[in-house]
Homo-oligomer: A and B are copies of this chain.
Amino acid sequence: MDTEATVIDACDLKMVDPDKVAAVRLSLPEADDVVELADVFSLLGDPGRLRLLMSLLEGGEMCVCDLAATTAMSESSVSHALRLLRAHRVVSVSRRGRMAYYRLDDGHVRMLLDLGLTHTGHTVAIHPEVTGGDL
């Protein structure tokens, strides 16, 4: 194997299989896209936010105080978490009076949650794929 046939990047390290490295590297998404995707996963990587999102997945539309009661978090924490989620368009708000009602607003995240629940062996009941959420 020629180890210096293709100089792809600034710092090319020693490789065992340069062809595969080149091929795989080309198949990877842009750096920005990877970071963005990691960001989404990271959003789901916190137990508090995960409980929040699963609550919304089940409850459909809930206000901050109910979310706090459901997830056993402080209302401040919930608000902070919700703001983050909102910034990433994962949830959306409808304000009525002084209440703020949140709901899941991302189909992909919904599927990610669903798949994740399956991963843990916790079989989720049925949940409408659309933005229903009546219970």
Interface residues of A (CB under 8 A from B): 8-9, 11-18, 20-21, 23-25, 27-31, 33-47, 49-51, 54-55, 58-59, 62-63, 65-66, 68-72, 75, 99, 108-109, 111-112, 115-122, 124-125, 133, 135
What distance in Å separates the Cβ of A14 from its nearest Cβ neighbour in chain B?
Answer: 6
In the complex, what distance in Å separates the CA atom of A17 from the CA atom of B43? 27
Partner of A69, one of B9, B49, B117, B120: B9
**Do A70 and B24 have beta carbons less than 8 Å apart?**
yes
Closest 6 CB pairs of A and B: A42-B45, A41-B44, A108-B119, A41-B45, A29-B122, A24-B59
Please, which residues of chain B bring their CB within 8 A of the CB of A24? 55, 58-59, 62, 70, 135
